[in-house]
Amino acid sequence: MKRFTTSLLLASILSIPGFARAADIDWGKVDAAFGKTAAVSGGVHRYGLPRSDLKVTLEGVTIKPALALGGWVAFAPMHGEAMLMGDLVLLETEITPVMTKLLDAGLDVTALHNHILRATPATFYMHVGGHGDPAKMAEIIHAALSTSSKTPFDPPPASPAPQAPIELDTGKLDEALGVKGVANGGVYQFNVPRRDPITEEGMTVNAALGGANAINFQPTGGGKAAITGDFLVTGDEVNPLIRALRAGDIEVTAIHSHMLNENPRLFFIHFWANDDAQKLARNVRGALEKTAIAKN
């Protein structure tokens, strides 16, 4: 089987005759492989794979999938084929079977780590990458997850239920973070892009591919919220950021990479707190100011 590797050189791709243009990719076949329609942003086709089958709790908080269990796979068109990036949410017992099937089928695993601590059951996050026919890569991921984990592939309902109200003053959270958040599955989410572009194998890694700071707020009552997500920083920003987080009583839960060949080299800082939502938003913004974020 052809190896779908992120290390393919662009020159070799361009030298192969007969490649279709990116616009000629049959995205319907990719949708069919996952049993759902992608969310499309900036040409990137992203498929959500939330672990709605799991009941994960941490310090009395039942974690909603949109807070910290939101697996995903995204494809960016690249010279008639596609670059794959994704983040799969797995139980400990699912890690090795899923990894083995992905590797045997030619996909790459680019990271494996936790996001939060002390949760029951423990969950882990496997980042995957590849390059090739997006429909074939989608079939590989579907087969690996459906035979080695309980990841649901149910399509969204034909008439989605209205968003439940977020029991927080979201206007004040927007003001504190300096960006507009969006409600998703009972969680208020922020994406804060970095100032300078990120590239991998010559492709721009945008927010749909995981190239932005992600900050999530889940209401826990009385104006409080559980927060988690990840900051995206360069090496020299790691310690200024985590010092700012600790000064704001925000726990640092993981420091690691997600990609292998990105430029500039980046690290992802995961975090957790359950406290007054507006205070946390101000402290998160203070931490973000220690990094090169885009300014409005």
H, E, C per residue of the chain: CCCCCCCCCHHHHHHCCCCCCHHHCCHHHHHHHHCCCCEEECCEEEEEEECCCCCCEECCEECCHHHHCEEEEEEEEECCEEEEEEEEEEEHHHHHHHHHHHHHCCCEEEEEECCCCCCECCEEEEEEEEEECHHHHHHHHHHHHHHHCCCCCCCCCCCCCCCCCCCCCHHHHHHHHCCCCEEECCEEEEEEEECCCCEECCEECCHHHCCEEEEEEEEEECCEEEEEEEEEECHHHHHHHHHHHHHCCCEEEEEECCCCCEECCCEEEEEEEEEEHHHHHHHHHHHHCCCCECCC
Confidence grade of residue 168 (pLDDT, cut at 50, 70, 90)? very high
160 domain residue, yes or no: no
| Shared-domain flag, residues 208 and 144 | no
249 domain residue, yes or no: yes
| Shared-domain flag, residues 25 and 88 | yes
| Shared-domain flag, residues 21 and 142 | yes
- CATH code: domain of residue 108: 3.30.70
135 domain residue, yes or no: yes
| Shared-domain flag, residues 44 and 101 | yes
| Shared-domain flag, residues 257 and 204 | yes
Nearest C-alpha neighbor of 170 from the set 190, 185, 155, 150: 190
Q: Judge whether residue 160 has pLDDT over 70.
A: no
| Shared-domain flag, residues 139 and 174 | no
What is the domain range of residue 15? 10-148
Mean pLDDT of the chain: 90
| Shared-domain flag, residues 141 and 241 | no
116 domain residue, yes or no: yes
| Shared-domain flag, residues 213 and 134 | no
Which is more confident, 259 or 10? 259
- Segment 87-119, tens digit of pLDDT: 999 999 999 999 999 999 999 999 999 999 999
Q: Judge whether residue 179 has pLDDT over 60.
A: yes
| Shared-domain flag, residues 235 and 267 | yes
| Shared-domain flag, residues 117 and 203 | no
Q: How many domains are there within the chain?
A: 2
161 domain residue, yes or no: no
| Shared-domain flag, residues 53 and 122 | yes
pLDDT score of 12: 37
165 domain residue, yes or no: no
263 domain residue, yes or no: yes
294 domain residue, yes or no: no
